[in-house]
A and B are shown apart, each in its own frame.
Chain A
Amino acid sequence: MIRSIRLYIFVISGIVFFQNNCIAQDMEGKIQQCALTAGKDVTYLKDFVVNLTAAPPNQKPPVFKSSLALRKGVIYRFSICNGESSDGEAVLRLYDQSNLLLSTYYPETGKEFKSISFSCQKSAAYTVVISFKNGKKGDAIGILSYVNK
């Protein structure tokens, strides 16, 4: 009996390991897929894997933030891909300190972009912010690419 339990634990831990390994590889595939949406004229530089919970009532929605060093004279492209089972629609914004430089969604015009290029004229640390519309929960992948000249 004890031996059977041990064997079951052994097999189950193997399955868990296998699943984790394959989930990781599934994520790799999604990142690569999202990187492809940036276009053929770019080179992938970095990805941001985002998974946020829904905003609690009367509270600010959670956001993902990452500080990025961008360089003068380089054109970057930011792309955003929603997760298949994501409730919310992801929005990527780029800030220079507190100044908004770009957003993949402009609520005042309703315009939405899957990718936006940014022609950088000042080497500095910028902040990428990813959140979900209306504070919904969701998962998304953001991609930073280098636009080839």
Chain B
Amino acid sequence: MTKNIAYLVIFFLLFGSCKGRVKDDLTVPGSEMVQGDLKVSDQAMSEIIENISSPIEMAALVKDLGVPFSSRYLSNPDIIDNHASSFKMAYILGVLGADLGYLNVYEKTGTSVNYLASISKIADGLKINQFFDFNTMKRLATSSSNLDSLMYLSLHSFNQMDSHLRVTERSNLSALMITGVWVEGMYLATQVAKEKSDTSLAQYIGEQKVILNDILLILKNYQRDAQFSDLIKDLELIKTEFDRVKISYQMGEPIAVEENGMLTIVQQERSIVDISNEVLLKIIETTARIRNKQLTV
């Protein structure tokens, strides 16, 4: 008997080691985890979507423009309830990930705790919480000296959650997650563009035409699902505006520059984005409408 208890204690010690967990509040019905027939194989899907939508790049670009932080660009972290569908959870996970990236870039770690808590709740609901160490991130967020670690950990966790969804044949949820990141990032960039006229930002927004086409290509694999179909219809409204953006390419060989032992390759082939003010305004308006609609669906 004593031996049995000893084994049991060892077992729990072993299983309980290494990582903490946060409470599981959200649950997903099993049927919602099943993805439809794919036109593109999972491998091809994963080749398409690596780094397609990064929660950091858009925020960093905005900060580099000298635009001050504004909470008006953020979504409500408490937007998700306990009965949300996996569709909604995956999409909102992307949205909150983009917002977390924005907060981290601007070093607003105090506010980021609310976003971390919501992300953790959704990760529980989608059963990918093993990649989101809420307690460590919360600790890093509340001690402002560890911003780099927080940034690393949050991005790495997002990459892992995304990969795990694809590995476990839930590429549909991964697609939603990256769509959420992209839409929220676009909302941030377009809202800034609305208030600050900047050619490089307009060009950056115009170039998102390429990314949107890739995202639509992925989402169309799941268009038999009514929710996906509605989302695609909404994104196609943005695409219609993007169709008026013209992108041409100027050829050139890359140049290598070595400075202080660091080699930098400067690409000479470059894209030239032709985006009129009228088109930009339409993209700004349509993006805001779709973004706000998707948050309330």
A positions within 8 Å CB-CB of B: 7, 10-11, 14-15, 17-18, 21-22, 25, 28, 31-32, 35, 39, 43-47, 65-75, 94, 96, 101-102, 113, 115-125, 144, 146, 148-149
Residues in A neighbouring B270, C-beta threshold 8 A? 72, 121-122
B19 engages A25 (CB within 8 Å): yes
Cβ-closest chain A residue relative to B48: A67
Residues in B neighbouring A47, C-beta threshold 8 A? 156, 159
Q: Does B54 contact A (CB under 8 A)?
A: yes
A50 to B140, CA, bound (A): 29
- Work out how many contacts link A and B, with CB atoms closer than 8 A: 136
B200 engages A119 (CB within 8 Å): no
Interface residues on B, range: 35 or more
User: For residues 1 through 49 of chain B, which have their beta carbon under 8 Å from a beta carbon of chain A?
Assistant: 3-4, 7, 10-11, 14-15, 17-19, 47-48
Residues in B neighbouring A66, C-beta threshold 8 A? 47, 50
A-B contact pairs, 14 of them (CB 8 A): A10-B7, A18-B18, A28-B156, A44-B151, A44-B156, A45-B54, A46-B50, A65-B47, A70-B51, A96-B269, A118-B264, A119-B266, A121-B269, A123-B210
Cβ-closest chain B residue relative to A19: B14
B203 engages A74 (CB within 8 Å): no
Known: A44-B152, A101-B254. A68 touches B265 (CB 8 A): no
Residues in A neighbouring B51, C-beta threshold 8 A? 45-46, 68-70, 144
B246-265 interface bits toward A, Cβ cutoff 8 Å, 1 = contact, 0 = none: 00010000100000001111
